[in-house]
Chains A and B, each alone.
Chain A
């Protein structure tokens, strides 16, 4: 057995005020024939990043829906985690020197984990490339495809994957029964074997990052960080790297500040200690901000956590996500859920979340971004209207309950259970329209 991860129990019923009784009932109906099914999620880390956040909500909700879901984390040497970090980067398009030794480290650690695997499940979901080779080794050890359906869940964009690394990974995926991708565009054409599904990620409306905030907490946080709620505020929450273009955001802010001298900007950097590139970009951004104290650069390492991010997003007049490259960009849905209009880069999963001109604006350049943000700051009625539309759009498409529903549909399809009345057979593999 691998390392089990404890999760906080959650009740589907708590989501009824958010999504309505009918949708809760639909989930229960979908789950009914799966009652008691043993589900195991395997990934590389219990914390940090979107995957762990999703699992922290999904696993307890699956349990509440009547399945027996668990989450385990693979073990690995320090070298393994370095190798898989490089592998992860290469699969997202970065060029790395992929050596036979690295391949060996990856495989060897997967083998060791396969040897620890000693229980049967009805569905096993293996997340991302780190543990992906485990299935092949278990099959070898057991001399058969292990019990249950095995699904590979890919959370990353493989479009520009480095060929060598993808060629290492691909043969280990072929034994899976299913493969779940985040976007239709990310499905690898040359992946033969597993049936493919598309399930975009989602946010938990009841989490500390998204739940309603008491007024005193909201005001208190703004005051502690020196933000005057009476003045216009732009907010971007992102990693600090060239792909999130924090310098571009400062340019946008500067251009608008000429017209609106009261304007404030909050940049919240999500940083890791072991990410020198992030630090270099942090420093560059700070230098660009110079001694303009209306630019607030904050970081998780300063104790800016869920509740603080929640407060800043709620306080924003316009939320910016000026990405020039993006995986999915779920932070856009977080902002939309709070009824904020969002101006964001037209890349990755962002166009899926922003209906251009309705729930926000998609932009490609600094100039476009300036123009759109300015128009929203000047037309508060329009901004409010977009915020409202954004919240409804997220309610329909990007809440954790939809995510749970999609998983249940995938499971049903694997087991050959008829779709619910009114559902098309292909819905599990659907792409959002």
Chain B
């Protein structure tokens, strides 16, 4: 038994006003043959990550649909933390130290966690590669009696080779491996089934719930932002991976054409590590040169509802992302009918369709040109905003995610009998 999480029950009916009856009926139809199916979701953390957010939205809805769906958190320790982090970095193709000893620690923790799997489940979904070694260490009988799914929420297409070699021997025997986009998978991955399930947003969650214009103005103006003037907004970690300095450059160039322009940068990740802190400080220091640039962070205890308000207050949302990964904040913005100008990164390409739901741009000049066009042409901004909401409505809502999962579970357990 791992660490369990108490998640308040929730009714799928809450989504009816947003997605309509037909879609709910379809989910019910898919779920019916799976009622009572025992599913264990295993993750490495209970909060602070996109995975945790997806699970806290989807698990109670799965339960409401009649599946016996649980979420537990694997046990870690002080020794595991740096290994976990290094593996995460190395699989993402980023600089990391990796050694034989670290590989040993990784295997040992996975073996220890395998011993904790004492209940019977029909399906175990392991989220992300760090705990994916568990399957190899589970006893033969339990391993065979269970369908194993690895849901990889990272882009591991350019993973460091030695780390990928270690991981692949543990994950390739899984019954299915889920990636968030085709391009996130390593080119040489071999598995029984490769599935693509894009992540999704919860339209009824605090980050997307409707807010009145008065409420939005109140929450935004408190930080010195003038809601009568145009505002650019980027929500992202404020480190080099999301180019906050580049966002300031875009602002700097665009304000020549749009006087009174403002920029709000909100750090979605608390910069606790010295490096992250240093980049945050650098951004904060540069922001001081402009009266129209605002920097906030989770350390100001900015939460979901405020993030929601900031996106709604924005005239244009920027995503100057240099990272791999999905970047689901963009969908939150599109859902609010905000036009988005984003860098053409794999995850963002799933969300921003150039000229339809937003614009793609690379250089500061391109970004700025698009921003200015959107600020000067309200009908263009409105058209893209509407396109964005439609795109999210059709492709990136939690109901679509549930439907993908139910179909996969149906296929996997059909194979059981």
The interface of chain A, by Cβ under 8 A from chain B, is 3-6, 8-9, 46-48, 52-53, 56, 73, 77-78, 81, 206-209, 211, 214, 216-217, 220-221, 224-226, 271-274, 276, 282-283, 286-287, 289-293, 295-297, 299-309, 311
Residues A217 and B295 in contact in the complex (CB < 8 Å), given A48-B270, A286-B4, A304-B304: no
Q: Is B3 touching A47 in the complex (CB atoms < 8 A)?
A: no
Q: Is A303 touching B303 in the complex (CB atoms < 8 A)?
A: yes
Residues A47 and B306 in contact in the complex (CB < 8 Å), given A3-B285, A274-B272, A301-B47: no
Nearest 5 CB-CB pairings of A with B? A305-B303, A47-B299, A303-B304, A301-B48, A301-B47
Q: Quick check: is B298 within 8 A (CB to CB) of the other chain? A: yes
* Across-interface contacts of A304 in B (CB, < 8 A): 303-304
Q: Which of A3, A6, A221 contacts B206 (CB 8 A)?
A: A221
* Across-interface contacts of A276 in B (CB, < 8 A): 78
Complex Cα distance A254/B214, Å?
A: 39
Complex Cα distance A208/B214, Å?
A: 14
Most buried by A among B56, B288, B305: B305
Complex Cα distance A156/B15, Å?
A: 47
* Across-interface contacts of A224 in B (CB, < 8 A): 204-206, 209
17 contacts between A and B (CB under 8 A): A3-B281, A5-B284, A47-B270, A47-B300, A53-B301, A217-B215, A224-B205, A286-B3, A287-B3, A290-B6, A293-B9, A295-B6, A302-B47, A305-B298, A306-B301, A306-B303, A308-B305
Q: Is A291 touching B6 in the complex (CB atoms < 8 A)?
A: yes
Q: Which of A271, A302, A306 contacts B56 (CB 8 A)?
A: A302
* Across-interface contacts of A226 in B (CB, < 8 A): 8-10
Q: Quick check: is B145 within 8 A (CB to CB) of the other chain? A: no
Q: Is A293 touching B284 in the complex (CB atoms < 8 A)?
A: no
Q: Is B8 touching A305 in the complex (CB atoms < 8 A)?
A: no
Residues A8 and B224 in contact in the complex (CB < 8 Å), given A217-B215, A272-B272: yes
Q: Is A208 touching B219 in the complex (CB atoms < 8 A)?
A: yes
- A226's nearest neighbour on chain B, judged by CB, is B8
Complex Cα distance A8/B210, Å?
A: 27
Residues A309 and B301 in contact in the complex (CB < 8 Å), given A276-B78, A299-B47, A302-B52: yes
Q: Is B303 touching A9 in the complex (CB atoms < 8 A)?
A: no
Complex Cα distance A209/B4, Å?
A: 30
Q: Is B56 touching A78 in the complex (CB atoms < 8 A)?
A: no
Q: How large is the interface on B (under 10, 10 to 19, 20 to 34, 35 or more residues)?
A: 35 or more
* Across-interface contacts of A299 in B (CB, < 8 A): 47
Most buried by A among B5, B287, B298, B301: B301
- A275's nearest neighbour on chain B, judged by CB, is B272
Nearest chain B CB to A57 CB, angstrom units: 11
- B3's nearest neighbour on chain A, judged by CB, is A283
- B289's nearest neighbour on chain A, judged by CB, is A6
Q: Is A307 touching B306 in the complex (CB atoms < 8 A)?
A: yes
Q: Is B297 touching A305 in the complex (CB atoms < 8 A)?
A: no
* Across-interface contacts of A77 in B (CB, < 8 A): 274
Residues of B251-306 at the interface with A, using a CB-CB cut-off of 8 Å, are 270-272, 274, 281, 284-285, 287-288, 294-295, 297-306
Q: Is B301 touching A220 in the complex (CB atoms < 8 A)?
A: no
Q: Is B47 touching A214 in the complex (CB atoms < 8 A)?
A: no
Complex Cα distance A216/B309, Å?
A: 13
Q: Quick check: is B193 within 8 A (CB to CB) of the other chain? A: no
Q: Is A8 touching B223 in the complex (CB atoms < 8 A)?
A: yes
Kindly supply a per-residue 1/0 record for chain B positions 201-212, scoring 1 wherever the CB is within 8 Å of any chain A CB and 0 otherwise: 000111101111
Q: Quick check: is B222 within 8 A (CB to CB) of the other chain? A: yes
Residues A289 and B212 in contact in the complex (CB < 8 Å), given A81-B274, A211-B222, A307-B305: no
* Across-interface contacts of A209 in B (CB, < 8 A): 301
Nearest chain A CB to B84 CB, angstrom units: 12
Q: Is B5 touching A286 in the complex (CB atoms < 8 A)?
A: yes
